[in-house]
Amino acid sequence: MKRKIAVLFAATMALSSLPFAHASNILELYDYHGDEVTASVRSAWLGLFPQKDGQFCLKPTKVSITRVHDEIIDDDPKAKTGKRISVPGKEKPTFLFGGIPGLKAGAVLTSRINKKEHLQINDQIQLNVGDNKAKLIVKGKKEDKEYYSGFSITLESGGIKQQLVSAQQISIDTSPSLMWCGDLDGDGKVDLIMDTTTNYNVSDVTLFLSSKAKPGKLVKQVAHQYSTGC
């Protein structure tokens, strides 16, 4: 099953309490615990596929969800409560999107970023999508070799600031990560995929789209996939 290695702390994440319909999904090609995946193969799926030039494209994709043995949950060696996400063919997508309005097949303008395993305090990551420029700013206080306090991640663009993640206390090795950035919905503005987790044993892959943002905001959280390691 999917794992994240860090240390558990209580945390408060901006936007994390928003309701989501099961029809909107973001998945990776992983084995999940069975109760974590509510997606249906009958949904219309788009895969985000990397290209040789460092860009990406969205393509209609057939998704399979099959039962597999969950080495963490299944005591019976014959039990199969886990769910494996897979697609046919040699070409594999980085992410799969199901039932998300506004996404269409075609080339996706992608910001060239240096992917970081964990975002650290004082990071300022420039995100350029065509003529649109944005920045992720990470703030907090380093308490010691292991912990941050007052941790926050803010997206800034065009004079607007929007906090995406916040935590009162967090392990340095548990901080969220930026997984992808580009113009996924075709409106010329920055969209993000982040793992917003602040929990050592949890992954929370989250899609933020600019086209769904409310007035005075830059993006809106439209889908996420929560998964645990054990």
Instruction: Kindly list the domain boundaries of the chain, sorted by start residue.
Output: 25-228
Give CA 209 to chain center in angstroms: 11
The pTM (predicted TM-score) of the whole model is 0.87
Predicted confidence at residue 225, as pLDDT, reads: 95
For the stretch 51-88, pLDDT in tens is: 988 899 999 999 999 999 999 999 999 999 999 999 99
For the stretch 134-177, pLDDT in tens is: 999 999 998 888 889 999 999 999 999 999 999 999 888 888 99
Predicted confidence at residue 210, as pLDDT, reads: 97
